[in-house]
A and B are shown apart, each in its own frame.
Chain A
């Protein structure tokens, strides 16, 4: 038996979480270094997965399969396709930056209680989330996936509720109340989705007699497993509801601005750049593959919801006064693009959506982390409290601008590639939807540039005057992200190469072909 590489990518951070949690109270910096080390080992393993994966090979590679709960046919089944590999790479890549960016965010504020170990807890929870997210990208057993999908709520709940943003306008008590409100809202929202999904998972088992994604998909494709139309639709809705909350899609989005606003910036990045991707990933992997007919049936409604998300999220971002909430609404707009690309059912749309997941992760991380550095310096999240930062901290302003330009999908930066693919893919099948979505590029420019103008330009505000520029640790977070954004914007081939075959498989699952160009079709 070969080395269980996929399991290792999840076990390493999980072990890391335990080790970090066990570090004694007085050794805070040891905990940080250990967390960074474990996240880097995970990154190395993910890199091995990325390199070992053969784009032209089987659909699922590096598979592992062990009996788990034999009575219900639940198996511990892992395997990755190109989409999974891309997202594992993204997750493993972002966690070290998140750890590095949150280096001092969880230090105890008062040193009275010697047994109080928030730092250890913070980093252990982050590593725990990483382990679960990575494993959920690998799981090909529906039940296993469901368990991970739900279990990651627990560490996320504590990360949001337990470690708030210190830059809060109100009193400590008010901050704590809002934080706990945000954490509970996050938890309840996702639990409701999870419950509905659980019902659908059980329903799927009753209908199909198996939890194995590959088995069910094969049986469906070969016609051995027929599903009544209504059953399929109900099951699809059960799954989709949970994923639409996680993604989040309008009108199930309202937990995100609260959660991102109240959490520390690294955790906010963790939510939007990593954890939410599980939702869109699962739409692509489970909804389309298990319920192709129902997916096609629901497409018109989902496209409309996605379009609303795009425009609505962007408009709300324009109206925000809080930097972090602005970025949260921008993310809602971007998730609209991802869902649009997935359900446009074209190769370009789905490749674009997959790239979008990766690129959005990178661009939001860059923008949000720099915003976090800015907020930590000034101690406020309100846009109106800033002004003229560019003059005192030009590097910070420059990196913030690049993050913003990535968010508005400037060509040359990675998000452009994915956004354009999504737009083209949508336009090819649904021209009107494509045109409406295109209007999002103006709104994206509006909220990004307004944010930049109000915070970075103009006369220097008195409170901002002594603001230091980025420190080496912060540069170490931002510069690699920017380098990646530029690299993938000019040369996205390494990603498209592994994503393309997976998308072709998905396209054949839903029995869809790309619309042919008018000129060719006429011949």
Chain B
């Protein structure tokens, strides 16, 4: 059974290699191959899952060791995999949603001449992401971590001829690299502390070292998570990453890759449990991002950027839950899975809208699309209801649990976190209702483009609608399936542990409060965008709106400090290198040259002047010898 684990990764990897090296002759069939291999990986995942269900809860972990990766004195890194309930959850999410998005992309990318390469990159992403969640040590996880970063880079910049896409891709990679510093240092700290960085030994011997070291490791892991999961202060790349094709946004920048940070923290739970200070920072980062993303999401007119803000905010929820410790780990992952369904569905819906609207992304130029795209409207609507936490749908179960856990943290911290999560829920309801109203309701606002083509909104082909329908099913039912009877809790608890915490208020109260804030958010949005027509040109807006449109000035600060500062630094260094460092060298050379130039003048070419100096020199020498002898 465990031998299948490597196949999970190998199938999409094979696809990537064949598609990227295969050349043009695969242009016509390549996408089918890519999709088939993604599907194969999903099937293997299902087989493994079935096998796992057959075991008792304690014996569900599988190991597979392939070979020794980096064997150096005192340093062992293996290519080895570990499949437990946590990894299994991710495997099913990644391959399941991944396969659906492959299918969707067949239609979405139909007219792109580089479709084969697109599928190659998608396959590459799948295998790297699977490697990330299946690795049994942190270094191999780092391998997958960077692998998904590369795939993300390639896919964000897929339309490379657009300078904005190329810049966004580069930015994503660089910001992620900053996070990678954290992961590198964390691994190095583990190595110097425990002598290893395999999950088992490290997490098993956490008790043998001091809290200071663990806090440092925890903070470094958090830095890594911030980079990958677009959490404050490394969140700035996610909005720009929407330059990539929409299926990419759905798969990588909503459902799977960006949640890798949550995986990292939950996986390293033992370390965080023993380092409360680090946990506190995790919670703060989660809380700040959850509000940050939500506020940004309220102001964006670009449908994908609004959804990106929402992704940031939802991952903030997950990080916050993960920072709560054993109270929240399970719910962080549960929200991650349900979010994977509804956010992927929402993005695919957005892609479908763009597909019908000549790639227009400005929601102010949509309006009334529900009549033109009924399937998209229904599936998007179900995703919408799920994300705002409408009772009975997926998001309700998972988000409600996180809010409960936040309160259950206890003390003042619990109250503050509870309030923040509730506020986040209200804003979520607001901005998602705004997206919904601006896109599908109201009057049509689209106009002919510069060349006079008026968009003709139409429903997308079946290859695109079927994945949307499947994901809509997930958005509706997954939460209930997981939440009712604590199914998900029982499944994951052996890996992550669970703690009830001490809730100051009853679950029913929290649920009621959640529903109330939800209704308030929806109501306000309806008052602003449903009751009166939406202007095609964005109004100037309040100070907060303008700030939120510019991502709360985060990019401006980055630009002023890092980009400008960096440019000045490198430019002055180039100058220093040329004038100072090289100047010393050239100066030495020049002074030697100058000296010899002077000396050269003595060589006037007249034989007799040479003879004089010769005689003179001899005379001086003889005189000196005689004098020496006399003394």
Contacts and interface: CB of A to CB of B under 8 A. Distances in A.
Interface in B502-523: none
Contacts of B20: 398
B598 interface: no
Contacts of B150: 405, 410
A146 interface: no
Interface stretch (A120-128, A268-276, A369-377, A422-430): A422-430
B60 to A, nearest CB: 28
B577 interface: yes
A380 interface: no
Contacts of A438: 181, 184-185, 188
A398 B194 CA distance: 40
Contact of B181 (A185, A189, A352, A441): A441
Contact of A453 (B71, B166, B181): B166
A445 B191 contact: no
Contact of B209 (A320, A446, A518): A518
Contacts of B162: 458
Contacts of B487: none
A254 B579 CA distance: 11
A442 B179 CA distance: 9
B129 to A, nearest CB: 14
A503 B74 CA distance: 12
Dominant secondary structure of chain B at its interface with chain A? helix
A435 B143 CA distance: 20
A411 B585 contact: no
B163 A318 contact: no
Contacts of B181: 438-439, 441-442
A500 interface: yes
A456 interface: yes
A445 B166 CA distance: 14
A243 B282 CA distance: 47
Interface stretch (B312-320, B374-382, B465-473, B564-572): B564-572
A316 B577 contact: yes
Contacts of A351: 72-73
A312 interface: yes
Contact of B193 (A416, A445, A457, A518): A518
A1 interface: no
A459 interface: yes
A319 B571 contact: yes
A391 B160 contact: yes
Interface in A446-464: 446, 449-450, 453, 456-460
A409 B142 CA distance: 12
Contacts of A515: 192
A434 interface: yes
Contacts of B361: none
Contacts of B589: 188
Contact of A519 (B67, B209, B571, B574): B209
B209 A316 contact: no
B68 interface: yes
Nearest to A408: B177
B170 interface: yes
Contacts of B192: 427-428, 431, 515, 517-518
A491 interface: yes
B142 A411 contact: yes
Contact of A316 (B147, B196, B566, B574): B574
Contact of B191 (A253, A424, A496): A424
Contacts of B584: 251
A48 B209 CA distance: 49
A100 B417 CA distance: 65
A421 interface: yes
Given A449-B173, A518-B213, A420 B184 contact: yes
A471 interface: no
A488 to B, nearest CB: 11
B454 to A, nearest CB: 27
B178 interface: yes
Contacts of B143: 411-412
B538 to A, nearest CB: 28
Dominant secondary structure of chain A at its interface with chain B? helix
Interface residues of B, number: 62
A266 interface: no
A347 B74 contact: yes
B305 to A, nearest CB: 22
B181 to A, nearest CB: 5
Given A318-B566, A439-B181, A453-B166, A421 B72 contact: yes
A58 interface: no
Contact of A493 (B68, B146, B209): B68
A187 to B, nearest CB: 12
B486 interface: no
B208 A519 contact: yes
Query: What's the interface size class on A, roughly?
Result: 35 or more
A321 to B, nearest CB: 9
A497 B71 CA distance: 8
Contacts of A446: 174
Contacts of A493: 67-68, 71
A516 interface: yes
B161 interface: yes
Contacts of B178: 442
A253 to B, nearest CB: 8
A295 B75 CA distance: 24
B581 A348 contact: no
B79 interface: yes
Interface string A307-324: 000001001101110000
A289 B18 CA distance: 49
Given A518-B213, A522-B208, A347 B161 contact: no
Contacts of A215: none
Contacts of A496: 70-72
B419 to A, nearest CB: 37
A226 interface: no
Contacts of B165: 457
A250, A434, A453, A519: most-surrounded residue (chain B CB, <10 A): A519
B387 interface: no
A456 B72 contact: no
Given A251-B581, A424-B188, A441-B181, A500 B208 contact: no
B160 A423 contact: no
A316 B575 CA distance: 10
Contacts of A456: 160
B139 interface: yes
B161 A453 contact: no
Interface string A380-407: 0000000010110000001000000100
B618 interface: no
A492 interface: yes
B268 interface: no
Interface string B129-155: 000000000010011011100100100
A110 interface: no
Nearest to A321: B574
A86 B581 CA distance: 34
What 4 A-B pairs have minimum CB-CB distances, sorted nearest first? A517-B195, A319-B570, A347-B73, A457-B166
Interface of B: 20, 67-75, 79, 139, 142-143, 145-147, 150, 153, 157, 160-163, 165-167, 169-170, 173-174, 177-178, 180-181, 184-185, 187-189, 191-196, 205, 208-209, 213, 566, 569-571, 573-574, 577, 581-582, 584-585, 589
28 contacts: A185-B585, A188-B589, A251-B581, A254-B582, A312-B573, A316-B574, A348-B75, A391-B160, A410-B150, A411-B147, A428-B188, A428-B191, A438-B185, A441-B180, A442-B177, A442-B180, A457-B165, A493-B68, A493-B71, A496-B71, A500-B72, A504-B73, A515-B192, A517-B196, A518-B193, A519-B193, A519-B195, A519-B209
Given A411-B143, A453-B166, A517-B196, 20 more contacts: A185-B585, A250-B581, A347-B74, A348-B73, A348-B75, A388-B160, A411-B147, A421-B72, A427-B188, A428-B191, A428-B192, A441-B181, A457-B166, A458-B160, A492-B69, A493-B67, A493-B68, A504-B73, A517-B193, A522-B209
